Amino acid sequence: MPSKKGRPSQKLPPEDHDHSKPPRRVRTSCPPRASGRLRKTYRQNWPAYNAAQTYEKAQFQSLLSKLTEGLEHPKQRVNGRPRIPFKVAMFCAAYKVYSTFSARRFMTDLREAHKSGLITVLPHFNTVLNLLEDATITPVLKELVVISSLPLRGIETCFAIDSSGFTAPLYIDDDADNASADRRQHGWVKAHVMCGVKTHIITAVDIRGPYSADTNSFPCLLKKTSESFCVREVSADKAYFSRANFVLAEKIKARPYIPFKSNATGLGPPQMEKMYHHFQLRRDDFMRHYHKRSNVETVFSTLKRKYGAFLRSKSEHAMVNEVLLRAVCHNLCVLIQEAQELGIKPELE
């Protein structure tokens, strides 16, 4: 009997029609690269992943409550009715960012948190929005990012640095006198992040102007991370290349895997000369360490896929605080995942 394509169909042998036997599993591998080598892949620990994802929201609320428990209420300098406790306001702001809901639709989650005893006061949704507009909480949020990463300080020794832009739905005009559709663009903030390459925990965040140089954020990120972690390696792209950054890395005994530009001569501090020879003579080994930087790209991808590609805030201070709250939420989710995979119990100090 001819097949649909006009070719005679081949009759399969009887043993292939035996449905009593389970189907055979065919092990496949990723297609080889142009060099002929197979691409290295990593298997997912599905039981740990499933356990972390199915109980993430409940465990996130518990960790967030412990993280904000020690926050002190700032003194009220003006007259009026008393403000809600600062730890309650911070809990609500972080939980709102985690939920990815608008402030009004988020009130259902706040009522459930209030009934369960996680917060002592049920605030108005405008109270949460007003807190995001407050520029004085930015240093507090940066410190919460550091505190939420401390449970993994005994695991991470290699780190990666990179930057990415977070766009807001607000349009701004480059030229107010001659505004046109071509000159309008979305407002955005630029976040520099340092993360561990094993667990993707964020150890430090630096947010500057949208068009600021990347190399200026390297010192503050490295110094902040070295205060709590033992930094052995740090990977970054050419945008973070400078002699001062190599000197700083040498001071804290870390090896900076930053590629050299084509016109680099290697002349400079001892650490810079040493890494230059490593880059020229052992290029494959250098690039193997440098490509750990891909993990920070994964962190940015997670932040944007999980919490939305656009920021919900519109003002400059609110956008900065929202990005920092995303980093805090990301760290708590990483702790939940690593508690299942590594069998650790995260203790927030």
* Beta bridge mates, 171: 186
Taking alpha carbons only, the member of 198, 208, 209, 124 closest to residue 159 is 198
200: phi > 0 → left, psi -120 to 50 → alpha, else beta; which?
left
β-bridge partners, 192: 163, 206
- The pLDDT value recorded for residue 36 is 61
Q: Tell me the C-alpha distance between 33 and 63, whole Å.
A: 43
* Cα–Cα distance for residue pair 95/109, rounded to 1 Å: 9
Question: CB–CB of 247/271 below 8 Å?
Answer: yes
**pLDDT tens profile 168-195:** 877 765 554 444 445 567 788 999 999 9
Measuring CA to CA, how many Å separate 204 from each of 99, 103, 195, 219, 343? 23, 27, 7, 11, 25
One pLDDT digit (tens) per residue for the chain, 349 residues: 544 444 444 544 444 445 555 444 444 445 555 556 677 777 889 999 999 999 999 999 999 999 999 888 767 666 777 789 999 999 999 999 999 999 999 999 999 999 999 999 999 999 999 999 999 999 999 999 999 999 999 999 999 999 999 998 777 655 544 444 455 677 889 999 999 999 999 999 999 988 889 999 999 999 999 999 999 999 999 999 999 999 999 999 999 999 999 888 888 899 999 999 999 999 999 999 999 999 999 999 999 999 998 999 988 899 999 999 999 999 999 999 999 999 999 988 7
Write down the residue that tokens 């309650």 correspond to.
88
**How many residues comprise the chain?**
349
Place of tokens 């203790």: 347
The residues pairing with 196 across neighbouring beta strands, listed in sequence order, are 159
* CA dihedral angle for residue 327, residue 330, residue 331, residue 332, rounded to 10 degrees: 130
pLDDT of residue 142: 97
E strand or H helix at 235, and its extent?
strand 233-235
Question: Cα–chain-centroid distance for residue 74?
Answer: 29
Question: Domains of the chain (ranges plus CATH)?
Answer: 47-69+83-132 (no CATH), 136-312 (3.30.420)
Query: Residue 236: which of 318, 323, 320, 158 has the closest Cα?
Result: 158
DSSP 152-219: GTTT--EEEEEEEEEEEEEEEES-STT--TTTEEEEEEEEEEEEETTT--EEEEEEE-TT--GGGGHH
Query: In the prediction, which pLDDT does 42 show?
Result: 76
Contacts of 220 (CB under 8 A, 6+ apart): 204, 206
Half-sphere exposure (Cβ direction) of 86: Cα atoms closer than 13 Å = 13
Q: How far apart are CA 227 and CA 146, in angstroms?
A: 10
3-state helix, strand, coil in the chain (%, to 5): 45, 15, 40
Buried b (16+ CB within 10 A) or exposed e, 278-311: bbeeeeeebeebbebbebbeebbeebeeebeeeb
The tokens of 177 are what? 């006198």
**Cα–Cα distance for residue pair 288/158, rounded to 1 Å:** 13
How many other CB atoms sit within 10 Å of the CB of residue 238? Answer: 13
Residue 265 pLDDT: 87
223, with CB counted inside 10 A (0-12, 13-18, 19+), is middle
